[in-house]
Amino acid sequence: MKNINIEEIKTILPHRYPFLLIDKVIEVKKGEEIKALKNVTYNEPFFQGHFTNKSIMPGVMIIEAFAQATALLGAYGFEEKRSSESELYYLVGIDKARFRKSIVPGDQIIINVKFLANKKGIWKFAATAFVDSNEAASAELLTTIKD
């Protein structure tokens, strides 16, 4: 499956502006991985205070983008679509988070999320953010699904 646009993404993710952080899904390999895109603009609300003299995307927002990509992989990578409209994906843990390169306005982030394991309803993913083919951030995320 390829190219899931923002309108389709909004049918899966409950987030809306300013917290909808995935603009497009580029590719989904069913049960394996997802590649998503985030265009970073100066109009993002978090740039008003982080930082006023040098705009840098906060690490917590990068982690949130990772979490949204894991939810999309869960919805599209293992099923055709989520099983119910009330089903939500929750972030329950973060490990090995690393921030290697600042992400700034004008950057285009390619987020790659790979499925690692599912143990007792806790899904584990490896997420990496790339800017201009350079690794900017990475983390392992744990998620679960609840109705």
Instruction: Give the pLDDT mean for 1-7.
Output: 88
Q: Summarize pLDDT for 32-70 with one digit per residue, the tens.
A: 999 999 999 999 999 998 888 999 999 999 999 999 999
- Residue 3 CA to residue 45 CA, distance in Å, equals 26
Helical (H) or strand (E) element with 12: helix 6-12
Is 2 a residue whose pLDDT tops 80?
no
What is the DSSP track for 90-115?
EEEEEEEEEE-S---TT-EEEEEEEE
Out of 15, 24, 30, 50, the active site residue is 50
Q: Which helix (H) or strand (E) holds 39?
A: strand 33-39
* Global confidence as pTM: 0.93
Model confidence over 60-96: pLDDT tens digits? 999 999 999 999 998 887 754 455 566 788 999 999 9
pLDDT value at residue 114: 98
Rounded CA Rg of the chain: 15
Domains of the chain: 2-146 (3.10.129.10)
List residues bridging with 39 in a β-sheet. 108
104-138 pLDDT, tens digit per residue, is: 999 999 999 999 999 999 999 999 999 999 999 99
50 is catalytic: yes
